[in-house]
Structure 1
Amino acid sequence: MAQISNALDTLKGDTTALKLCLDRIIPVRKGRPLPALNKQTDETSVEALLRSVLSGEISPEEGKEVIGLVEGAARVAATQLLTEMRQRQLDALQKAGASGGVVMVPMLDPSKLSTQALEEVLSVITH
């Protein structure tokens, strides 16, 4: 801390250099807290986000960042779902092999199924 104080004392007459140093020591926060997303009746979250961008409540860059967060969360959820499905398929195959029977386990590509179809398949596999 003493070194910072000495450096700042040295720069007292040079406001440009002082500003550069302070910006490095205490960077300016980028971004801002986003306003609450108020969905209207029968409006999806993405539609509400788009409306917020178009009305100027948030900037296009902020909207893009939010969409990026949503996409990342969706990828994580899809990966978890796929992992669970594959584990259930392996468990069913191991169980069939242990009992000497044969079981047909469909190998599914969840990216090509709707959410409802995935839920139906999961309910069949788990019961």
Structure 2
Amino acid sequence: MANEATQFEPGQSGNPGGRPRGARNRSTKALEAIFDGESEALTRKVIELAKDGDTVALRMCMDRLMPVRKDRPITFTLPEIETPADLTKATRALMQGVADGEITPSEAAELSKLVDAHVKAISAADFAGRLAALEQSAGSKGSRR
């Protein structure tokens, strides 16, 4: 039994590439085949049921007409962020906004991600500028020789 070859090495996936993008499972394909050509009639029926007072059908229609919003626009003023050093001002403002009830903790967390991305962009631009200046000064020194 110890000499039996295993199909896969321990810790290795049998399908390292994973499921191909856009691939649908058999049950989804089967349902699509069943509903093919019937979707208009089914939609009409659900609308009729909703008009007749069927609350489940009404909810189904409303969910399609006006889906629940996942998030909302918020009005919150952050201090200007021009350098990585300004990050502490922004995080302080976010914490104060949560403490004051202006924004929720989850909204502050999402805004923190935006602030972090902005600071990283500033740092990358600053690094690129300093690198270009170094390369230019190195190039001008090399041409003097």
TM-score, normalised by the number of residues in structure 1: 0.57
Q: Which residues in structure 2 correspond to 1:64-79 (within 5 Å)?
A: 64-79=109-124
Structure 2 unpaired stretches of 5+: 1-38, 80-87
Letter in 2 for 1:45: A
| Secondary structure, aligned partner of 2:77 | coil
* CA offsets 1:17-53 (integer angstroms, 9 cap, x no match): 66446545653322222233388xxx93322221111
Aligned pair 1:8/2:48, yes or no? Answer: no
Judged with a 3 Å threshold, the aligned counterparts in structure 2 of structure 1 residues 6 and 97 are, in CA distance, closer, same or farther, namely: farther
State which of 104, 108, 132 in structure 2 corresponds to 1:87.
132
**What residue identity is the alignment partner of 1:30?**
K
Equivalent pairs, count? 94
Percent of aligned positions that are identical: 27
Runs of 4+ in 1 over 6 A off after TM superposition: none
- Structure 2 matches for 1:19-58, cutoff 5 A? 19-20=59-60, 23=63, 26-37=66-77, 44-58=89-103
Is residue 94–residue 108 contact of structure 2 (8 Å, CA) maintained in 1? yes
Is the CA contact 2:46–2:61 (under 8 Å) kept in the aligned structure 1?
no
1:53-77 CA-partner distances (Å, limit 9, x unpaired): 1222211000001111000000011
* Structure 1, unpaired ranges of 5+: 101-127
In the alignment, is the contact (CA less than 8 A) between 1:53 and 1:60 conserved in 2?
Answer: yes
Q: Which moved more, 1:65-74 or 1:14-23?
A: 14-23
Question: Is the contact made by 2:90 and 2:115 (CA closer than 8 Å) also made in structure 1?
Answer: no
Amino acid of the residue matched to residue 37 of structure 1?
T
Compute the displacement of 1:84 (Å): 0.8
Q: Which amino acid aligns with 2:46?
A: L
Q: Tell me the C-alpha RMSD between the 2 structures.
A: 3.1
Cα separation, 2, equivalents of 1:38 and 1:86: 30
The alpha-carbon deviation at position 88 of structure 1 amounts to 0.9
